[in-house]
Amino acid sequence: MSTATSTDTRSPAPHAADSHDLIRVHGARVNNLKDVSIEIPKRRLTVFTGVSGSGKSSLVFGTIAAESQRMINETYSTFVQGFMPTLARPEVDVLEGLTTAIIVDQQRMGADPRSTVGTATDANALLRILFSRLGQPHVGPPSAFAFNVASVRASGAITVERGADRTKAVKQTFNRTGGMCTRCEGRGTVTDIDLTQLYDDSKSIAEGAFTIPGWKSDSFWTVRVYAESGFVDPNKPIREYTEKEMRDFLHKEPVKVKVEGVNLTYEGLIPKVRKSFLAKDPEAMQPHIREFVERAVTFTTCPECDGTRLSEAARSSRIDGVSIADACAMQISDLAAWVRGLDEPSVAPLLTSLGDTLDSFVEIGLGYLSLDRPSGTLSGGEAQRTKMIRHLGSSLTDVTYVFDEPTIGLHPHDIQRMNGLLLRLRDKGNTVLVVEHKPETIAIADHVVDLGPLAGSEGGTVCFEGTVGRLRGSGTLTGHHLDDRARLKPQVRKPTGAVEIRGAAANNLRDVDVDVPLGVLCVVTGVAGSGKSSLIHGSIPASAGVVAIDQGAIRGSRRSNPATYTGLLDPIRKAFAKENGVKPALFSANSAGACPACNGAGVVYTDLAMMAGVASPCEECDGKRFQAEVLEYHLGGPENGKDISEVLAMSVTEAHAFFGGDGAKVPAAARILQRMEDVGLGYLKVGQPLTTLSGGERQRLKLATRMAEKGGVYVLDEPTTGLHLADVEQLLGLLDRLVDSGKSVIVIEHHQAVMAHADWIIDLGPGAGHDGGRIVFEGTPADLVADRSTLTGEHLAAYVGA
Ligand code: ADP
Ligand code: ADP
Ligand code: ZN
Ligand code: ZN
């Protein structure tokens, strides 16, 4: 492995001499960056490469984008700034030539139930104008087609200030026509309450029929009101109530009743439960209450609008027989064709911009979505590409766009289109910065910045800057691996059995029958939207020892970190306690030993309603999270030993060496650390907050934690996300070890090295959405390549050089 450093002085090409055409970074020291100084050509496409943990994000997001955002915030008036987070200036000496940075990342879109693909882009706004102009019958302005705008009819007096001392009341009528379905308030779903979760109808109230947490018959006033109201017979099983009793029991409007001389309010059970439980924020509930609510509340399609979220009037207006609800439910590629087919010269420019917006979805590989798809159901890669749509149509130029692995979730076939879009953004006069590992995208860079040589404290320097051609000969790890080609295995494993999927029909799947082989490495592939996740997550039973390991968020507090999550901290705490003769709890930042000022978080958070909170290091403990007394205790002897905060600041690799015997011998800890290294997380700090991990890192951490389980079948979703070419080999080795130890591994992947390494491939397609949903190939990689009958087959054949 070479760690040579070289700098290509002849690149960047055209404008390098002109200081206005460069972004200059001098002395960047964010996270692991070691005084990094670089120049990035403006209005060019620069790709940042390097192993995971080398410092790419610290440079691109943590330094360049962060400073740009901070400077934008400073341009607001002091009044507005009062409401904004005071961002800390990144640790960097000089940053010159910055332009406004727009970050297009994989953060899932918010959980706002009224946000859809259409509202998150400009598509719905344009469609609303179209329907307000052409729809028959004519129902009003564009807002009349907006499901997130309620109709308001109100009149009243408003007070208008006129001059210093005179005010005048003016009679005013407000009339706003919105398109919101009043029944579901634009959500498309209504909540139902599952009565069987509220009471056991074979019992009477006196016998304790209620099964709602805390509703005990004798002690709880609410229950006594039901029992003694006189509306129902407290000694009769609920299933024997008369019709009138049942109506009063479930639905009665609030009325005053006297119970043992006390005036109380009686209200039907359903409105009562809605008010007491459903109106509250589930996140703020105690876990057992939240579980009850999750059990008791069911969501069903709104019967009024049939899930379209729209008012009757909005749905009645049509263009060529198509309502706006129909249009939003169409697969976007079909909608684009419909719009192109409308021949209406009066709105020609509108049709052109709508058509262009919809075409961008298709180009970006999202033509299979529909505009009414809730944003919250998009995967990280889909969310990133959806955000990109806004910018493709934007007329802004000289903006710095920052992308985080835009190829995630994309089949090699889709990557070519994504590349085209990145180049288009550049050609409009923007600076495009991309963090990426896939050679297909590195190949189109005007300029490459390679960070490394390794991760964490062994990274943080720029190993190479220059063109892709020169990267190959640069001797860096990325250069070495750029042309790596996995070979097909001469021999594949024989399956030991199969999960039989029959008649799978979730989402776009067309009655799919397939046997997923067990005891082997099985790769499920196909273009984005072909139905891979629908098949695997929807059909492989959650029982039968299946361990699904995804990239989703990990629930936990802000004090959670890899050490707490993996269980590593337990043996470490015990070792500290034993050596120092004190209690283990002292060494937990969640309990006894925590710094009282920050409660063990190490940082103090300022939460802001409208923006992400800001964290600043705790001044009391200096970010160390523990009380000063706790830091007196050392592990590994008073001389060379480490205190608990020093342990938490170690990388996994450092900690492995330390607990493996260099500092202290704690075999249980060493075993867990070994597994974390195996999944390529050696660079991670054991105490780094989980909230700072990327989706790929979270998935690998979950894998490390669950590898030791007995479970038989592992399901992984793009485990190569965030992995450098050099680390993919290590991942393949790990997957092999899992299979060889008797486990079955099912992987949804697009990375061709993983496909080539599979024992069995299931290829979905042929296209996306309604053009997909079928199995187009099942068999060995060698047969897939020999057949070349599918898109995947063609790409894989080219990749392995067959
Ligand atoms: P890359 O983007 O190349 O994967 P990063 O910039 O994310 O690398 O990480 C570089 C180093 O900084 C790693 O050692 C990582 O563990 C560390 N690091 C990243 N984010 C944080 C953070 N929020 N707090 C502490 N350390 C961090
Ligand atoms: P892949 O995993 O191959 O990218 P998916 O299984 O995610 O494909 O998607 C297959 C089809 O099912 C697409 O048309 C997609 O829009 C649709 N789909 C997936 N998830 C949902 C969902 N939660 N709601 C509605 N449609 C969905
Ligand atoms: Zn509705
Ligand atoms: Zn503190």
For residue 324, give the CATH number of its domain: 1.20.1580.10
Whether residues 135 and 104 fall in one domain: no
The amino acid occupying position 649 is A
- Specify whether 571 is located in the same domain as 668: yes
Q: Which residue is closest in CA terms to ligand 2's atom 14?
A: 769
Asked if the model's pLDDT at residue 383 lies above 90, the reply is: no
Residue 590 has pLDDT above 80, yes or no: no
Residue nearest to atom 14 of ligand 1 (CA): 456
Please work out whether the CB of residue 369 comes within 6 Å of at least one atom of ligand 2.
yes
Return the higher-pLDDT residue of 158 and 323.
Answer: 323
Task: For ligand 1, atom 23, name the residue with the nearest CA.
Answer: 692
Angle at 498 (CA atoms; ends 493, 499), nearest 5 degrees? 140
Same domain? 177 vs 194 = no
Range with the lowest mean pLDDT among 72-86, 151-165, 307-321, 591-605? 151-165
Is 704 part of any domain?
no
Within this chain, do residues 323 and 396 fall inside the same structural domain, yes or no?
A: no
pLDDT at 37 (0 to 100): 97
447-477, pLDDT tens digit by residue? 999 999 988 888 999 999 999 999 999 999 9
Ligand 1: which residue has its CA nearest to atom 27?
31
**110 has pLDDT over 70:** no
685 CA: nearest ligand 1 atom? 16
Amino acid 379: pLDDT: 77
Ligand 1 binding pocket includes 52 (Cβ within 6 Å):
yes
Q: Are residues 293 and 310 both part of a single domain?
A: no
User: Which of 485-494, 697-706, 776-785 shows the lowest per-residue confidence on average (mean pLDDT)?
Assistant: 697-706
pLDDT at residue 154 in the model: 64
Q: What is the mean pLDDT of the chain?
A: 86
Q: To test ligand 1's pocket by mutation, which of 25, 34, 48, 58 has the most ligand atoms within 8 angstroms of CB?
A: 58
* Index of the ligand 1 atom closest to the CA of residue 455: 14
Q: Is 568 found in the same domain as 690?
A: yes
How confident is the model over 180-209, as a mean pLDDT?
91
Residues with CB in 5 Å of ion ligand 4 = 595, 597-598, 618, 620-621
Residue ID of nearest Cα to ligand 1 atom 17: 31
- For residue 413, tell me if it sits in a domain: yes
Q: What is the pTM of this model?
A: 0.78
Find the helix packing angle between 348-363 and 332-340, rounded to 10°.
150
Residue 416 has pLDDT above 90, yes or no: no
pLDDT confidence of 319, banded at 50, 70, 90? Answer: very high
Tell which atom from ligand 2 comes closest to the C-alpha of 377.
23
Mean pLDDT over 210-216 rounds to 87
In a domain, 348, yes or no: yes
Amino acid at 139: V
CA atoms within 13 A on the CB side of 758: 31
Q: Say whether both 672 and 733 belong to one domain.
A: no
Per the CB < 8 A criterion, the answer to whether 580 and 587 are in contact is no
Whether 517 and 473 share a structural domain = no
Q: How far is CA 789 from CA 542, 763, 778, in A?
A: 33, 11, 11
Same-domain check for residues 527 and 581? no
The type of residue at 222 is T
Burial of 244 per CB tally in 10 Å (0-12, 13-18, 19+): exposed
Q: Is residue 156 part of a domain?
A: yes
Alpha helices (H) along 75-138: 78-81, 117-120, 123-134
Q: Which ligand minimizes its atom distance to the CA of 598?
A: 4
Average pLDDT of 52-73? 88
- Say yes or no: CB of residue 769 within 6 Å of ligand 2: yes
Q: Are 209 and 200 in contact (CB under 8 A)?
A: yes
With a pLDDT cut of 90, the percent of the chain lying above it is 53
Mutate to test the pocket of ligand 2, among 361, 368, 534 (most ligand atoms within 8 A of CB): 534
Domain identity same for 335 and 384? no
| Residues 725, 438: Cα–Cα separation, whole Å | 8
Residue 333 lies in a domain: yes
If you average pLDDT over residues 749-757, what whole number do you get? Answer: 93
Tell me which of 721 and 179 has the higher pLDDT: 179
Q: Is 510 in the pocket of ligand 2 (CB under 6 A)?
A: no
Q: Is the CB of 564 under 6 A from ligand 1?
A: no
- Looking from the CA of residue 54, the nearest atom of ligand 1 is 3
Tokens of 571: 């043996």
Of 550, 600, 603, 563, nearest to 688 by C-alpha is 563
The pLDDT of residue 300 is: 87
Q: Is 552 helix (H, G, I), strand (E, B) or coil?
A: coil
Peptide bond before 12: cis, by omega within 30 degrees of 0?
Answer: yes
Instruction: Express as a percent the part of the chain with pLDDT over 70.
Output: 88
Could you tell me if the CB of 58 is within 6 A of ligand 2? no
Structural domain count of the chain: 5
CATH code, 32 = 3.40.50.300
Is any ligand 2 atom within 6 A of the Cβ of residue 744? no
- 201: containing domain: 189-301
- The per-residue pLDDT for 516 is 95
> CA-CA distances (angstroms) from residue 296 to 189, 191, 195, 278, 498?
16, 10, 7, 10, 36
Residue 320 has pLDDT above 90, yes or no: yes
Q: Is the pLDDT score of 491 beyond 90?
A: yes
Q: Which of 120-134, 423-437, 684-698 has the lowest mean pLDDT?
A: 684-698
Can you give the pLDDT at residue 606?
58
C-alpha 230/C-alpha 56 separation (Å) is 70
Rounded distance from Cα 532 to ligand 2 centre (Å):
8
- 334 found inside a domain: yes
pLDDT confidence tier of residue 610, bands split at 50, 70 and 90: very low
**Last residue within a domain, chosen from 301, 330, 348:** 301
CB of 189 within 6 A of ligand 2: the answer is no
Residues 416 and 444 in one domain: yes
Chain centroid to CA 547: how far?
20
Helices (H), 444-513: 468-472, 477-481
Please tell me the predicted confidence (pLDDT) of residue 172: 57
- Which of 299, 533, 537, 550 has most ligand 2 atoms within 8 Å of CB, for mutation? 533
pLDDT of res. 50: 92
Cis amide linkage into residue 766, ω under 30° from 0: yes
Q: How confident is the model at residue 762 (pLDDT cuts 50, 70, 90)?
A: very high
Tell whether ligand 1 has an atom less than 6 A from the beta carbon of residue 32.
yes
Strongest mean pLDDT among 43-47, 620-624, 738-742: 43-47
The backbone torsions φ and ψ at residue 263, rounded to the nearest 5 degrees and listed phi first, read -80, 120
> 531: Cβ below 6 Å to ligand 2?
yes
Among 694, 720, 745, the domain-final residue is: 694
pLDDT band for position 1 (cuts 50, 70, 90): very low
683 and 571 inside one domain: yes
Instruction: Scan for tokens 């896939």, then name that residue.
Output: 438
Domain annotation covers residue 445: yes
Report whether pLDDT(717) > 70: yes
Average confidence (pLDDT) over 770-794: 95
Pair 754, 411: CB distance under 8 Å? no
**Predicted confidence (pLDDT) per residue in 526-567, tens digit:** 988 899 999 998 877 665 678 888 776 666 666 788 998 898
The answer to whether residue 98 is domain-embedded is: yes
